[in-house]
Homo-oligomer: A and B are copies of this chain.
Amino acid sequence: MKPASPHACDAWQLLMQLFFAQRANLPPLAAELQLSPAQCHVLHLIEPGRPIPMGQLAETLACDASNVTGLVDRLESRGLVRRHPSTEDRRVKVLDLTPAGSRLRTLLLDRMTAPPASLRRLSVREQRALVRILTQLLD
């Protein structure tokens, strides 16, 4: 494994600061849509037309499966998500967005991905560089 360069450490520290700052501003944003931060996270993970098993959701959220049960219960009772039994394995239940859920997800992503002023102040050249670097980072 390649050793961590000082620049890599600096970069990651900055990303952590950004992460905590973002963590603090998710609750107000979520509240506008009558959602909790956790529900936003779930909605972000269920892509329209891409059903996902509950177990996989639990794994991606890195939380207990029983927690997903409760989260989905509340989203389902609001008509945003549906449970379907899987055809291949009758133990697993697959999650799907309802049309209302899909609309709300779009709304959420629109608000979340509105870049803050500090990002818009960067030059286009820097913005391109950032996109390129983050893409590699997320592989």
Q: Which residues of A contact B (CB under 8 A)?
A: 1-5, 7-25, 27-28, 41, 44-45, 60-63, 109, 112-122, 124, 126-131, 133-139
Contact = CB atoms under 8 A, between A and B. Distances in A.
Contacts of A28: 62
Q: How many copies does the complex hold?
A: 2
Main secondary structure of the interface of A (DSSP, over half): helix
B136 A122 contact: yes
Nearest to A128: B7
Contacts of A27: 62-63
Contacts of A24: 41, 60-62
B121 A138 contact: no
A119 B20 contact: no
